[in-house]
């Protein structure tokens, strides 16, 4: 029973002590303070939220969610409870509930910046950046001198296509911190600079003066490469690109041999006989997988299809891999990647397909079809075929040199560690092409191949064939994909909001000399580097 004789001042002092303990990492002591606050003093939203935060930090998300809900129920005017509950729902995997609650909270008159930050993160991660945008504007209005608020606005505006506003917000953030490397990269990526209007001198000075870390130097160098390419200085562009890739690669622990072994193992395990002799999977036509290498035009194909009223773009989902791994782990510990390939074939495809649909429900299910655009799903085509026999599989390909250069010129956050050295790009590309040839051999007619160049050359004809292959009725909106207002989360966020253009086709020719070793490696493997 609470001892109401204890004074609020005593509770406030104890609460302050608890926050200090939590901040300094003394979590067990902070938990003791939380228990004392709830057992000795009158319950307040501050005490409940502190206790919930302590349990969240200790990864006791169920208890944290209970305390957050208790706070919401007892103190409905305090927004801290619902915001903490959003976080805990995300942590325990209830993403649909978290998104619903976050959307509801986005309509409230929030005034605490940390609450806004949490909700913006959840909404953006839940494919709802349009709902996050008013929150970002409110955060800037509450404190125009908060650089974090301008950063959030810039990042959110990028997702929803408000590029001029994103650049303006990035410029303001950079006034507070000229070494904000993410904003530097965003600012350069969102507009085409001109010879008399660019940041090249500023960025060169920053790079030569010394960046705070290698990743920061990489971002600056990539920004320089992009702006130099914009003004037609391709030689200097490639020089900066090489420097940026070197900065990035030196901080990556990666052995390409492991990926090459994965390609080989998949081809050895997933034979035509193995694929023909397994149980049936989960029969649904909902999923449309768009896969292949990154930067090959898959976002363009996604926007064309998702402009159809029956299709929703769910983004790059990791859910198929997650569903597969749940079943693989039931077969015992993994020894290596070859063992993963073997065990994946021994799993229950029906269970994988059903679980995949369950995992996608926070992001899909409100239209008859949805798109999963994770490029790396090309590794899982065999299991996708078994688990979801009626799902459509679209493979987007591109002229090899254009594809390899497009990958090389893009600074990824975490994935694609092979993309920062030309010799590793060549090896990976060869392995990828051999694996795709294998899938076509063992699964004849199962994969719909689309060449980016063909779609650029004949958008309407290509789009109509694609929509027909998906079993959908034609809708003119599919060729007006640039008018699609849904969020774009990929590196092609700018391009897909423009009418289709051909300037990216054959861009490798500007760097023919620099890419010659890569072209020779592809030719030696029997791949025509100039033919999609």
The pLDDT value given to residue 489: 54
How many domains in the chain? 1
Within a domain: 412: yes
Number of H helices, E strands in the chain: 26, 5
Within a domain: 194: no
Within a domain: 502: yes
pLDDT tens digits, one per residue of 342-358: 999 999 999 999 999 99
**SS (HEC) of 367-432:** CCEEEECCHHHHHHHHHHHHHCCCCEEEEEECCHHHHHHHHHCCCCCCCCHHHHCHHHHHHHHHHH
CATH code of the domain covering residue 460:
3.40.50.300
Q: Which residues of 76-90 are buried (b: 16+ CB within 10 A; e: fewer)?
A: eebbbbbbbbbbbbb
DSSP bridge pairs for 312: 370
The pLDDT value given to residue 366: 85
The pLDDT value given to residue 496: 53
pLDDT tens digits, one per residue of 266-296: 999 999 999 986 668 999 999 999 999 999 9
The pLDDT value given to residue 150: 98
The pLDDT value given to residue 42: 84
Please compute the mean of the pLDDT values over residues 489-500 and round it to a whole number.
56
Cβ atoms of residues 341 and 270 within 8 Å:
yes
15, pLDDT greater than 60: yes
- Alpha-carbon distance of 6 to 8, in angstroms, equals 7
The span from the first CA to the last CA of the chain, in angstroms, equals: 74
- Alpha-carbon distance of 405 to 225, in angstroms, equals 13
Helix (H, G, I), strand (E, B) or coil at 520: helix
4, pLDDT greater than 50: no
The pLDDT value given to residue 481: 77
Range of the domain at 415: 257-524
Within a domain: 78: no
The pLDDT value given to residue 127: 86
CA dihedral 227, 229, 230, 231 (to 10 degrees): 100
The pLDDT value given to residue 530: 94
**SS (HEC) of 62-106:** HHHHHHHHHHHHHCCCCCHHHHHHHHHHHHCCCHHHHHHHHHHHC
Among candidates 434, 436, 333, which has minimal Cα distance to 380? Answer: 436
Q: What percent of the chain has pLDDT over 70?
A: 94
7 pLDDT band, cuts 50/70/90, is confident
Within a domain: 293: yes
491 pLDDT band, cuts 50/70/90, is low
Please compute the mean of the pLDDT values over residues 195-212 and round it to a whole number.
95
pLDDT tens digits, one per residue of 35-79: 999 998 888 999 999 999 999 999 999 999 999 999 999 999 999
The pLDDT value given to residue 123: 95
Within a domain: 277: yes
Please state, rounded to an integer, the average pLDDT across all residues of the chain.
Answer: 92
Cα angle 479, 482, 483 (rounded to 5 degrees) comes to: 95
Please compute the mean of the pLDDT values over residues 195-218 and round it to a whole number.
95
The pLDDT value given to residue 486: 64
- Give the predicted TM-score (pTM) of the model: 0.89
pLDDT tens digits, one per residue of 365-412: 789 999 999 999 999 999 999 999 999 999 999 999 999 999 999 999
């Amino acid at each position: 029973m609470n001892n109401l004789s204890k004074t609020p001042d005593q509770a406030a002092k104890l609460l302050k002590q608890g926050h200090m303990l939590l901040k300094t990492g003394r979590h067990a002591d902070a938990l003791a303070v939380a228990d004392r606050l709830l057992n000795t003093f009158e319950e307040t939203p501050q005490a409940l939220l502190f206790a919930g935060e302590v349990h969240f930090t200790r990864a006791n998300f169920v208890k944290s969610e209970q305390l957050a809900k208790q706070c919401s129920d007892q103190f409905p005017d305090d927004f801290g409870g619902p915001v903490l509950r959003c976080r805990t729902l995300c942590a325990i995997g209830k993403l649909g509930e978290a998104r619903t609650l976050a959307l509801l909270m986005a309509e409230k008159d929030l005034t605490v910046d940390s609450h806004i930050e949490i909700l913006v993160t959840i909404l953006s991660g839940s494919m709802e950046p349009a709902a996050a945008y008013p929150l970002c504007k409110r955060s800037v209005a509450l404190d125009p001198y908060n650089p974090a608020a301008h950063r959030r606005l810039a990042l959110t505006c990028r997702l929803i296509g408000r590029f001029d506003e994103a650049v303006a917000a990035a410029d303001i953030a950079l006034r507070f911190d000229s070494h904000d490397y993410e904003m530097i990269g965003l600012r350069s990526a969102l507009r085409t600079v001109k010879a008399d209007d660019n940041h090249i001198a500023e960025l060169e000075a920053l790079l030569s003066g010394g960046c705070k870390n290698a990743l920061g130097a990489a971002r600056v160098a990539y920004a320089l490469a992009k702006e130099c390419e914009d003004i037609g200085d391709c030689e200097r562009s490639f020089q900066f690109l090489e420097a940026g890739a070197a900065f990035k690669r030196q901080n990556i622990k990666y052995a390409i041999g492991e990926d090459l072994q994965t390609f080989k193992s998949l081809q050895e395990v997933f034979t035509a006989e193995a694929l023909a002799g397994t149980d049936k999977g989960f029969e649904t036509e909902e999923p449309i997988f768009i896969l292949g290498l990154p930067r090959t035009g898959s976002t363009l194909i996604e926007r064309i299809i998702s402009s159809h009223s029956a299709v929703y773009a769910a983004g790059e989902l990791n859910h198929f891999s997650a569903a597969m791994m749940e079943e693989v782990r039931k077969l015992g510990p993994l020894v290596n990647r070859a063992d993963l390939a073997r065990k994946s074939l021994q799993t229950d495809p029906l269970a994988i397909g059903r679980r995949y649909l369950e995992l996608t429900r926070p992001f899909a299910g409100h239209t008859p079809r949805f798109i999963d655009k994770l490029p790396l799903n090309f590794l899982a085509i065999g299991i996708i075929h078994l688990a979801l026999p009626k799902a459509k599989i679209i493979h987007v390909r591109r002229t090899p040199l254009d594809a390899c250069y497009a990958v090389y010129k893009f600074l990824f956050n975490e994935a694609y560690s092979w993309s920062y050295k030309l010799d590793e790009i060549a090896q990976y590309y060869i392995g990828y092409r051999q694996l795709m040839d294998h899938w076509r051999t063992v699964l004849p007619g199962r994969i719909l191949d689309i060449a980016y160049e063909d779609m650029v050359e004949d958008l309407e004809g290509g789009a109509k064939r694609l929509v027909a292959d998906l079993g959908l009725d034609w809708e003119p909106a599919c060729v007006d994909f640039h008018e699609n207002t849904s969020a774009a989360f990929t590196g092609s966020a700018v391009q897909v909001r423009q009418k289709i253009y051909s300037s990216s086709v054959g861009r490798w020719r500007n760097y023919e000399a620099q890419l010659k070793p890569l072209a020779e490696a592809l030719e030696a493997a029997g791949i025509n580097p100039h033919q999609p």
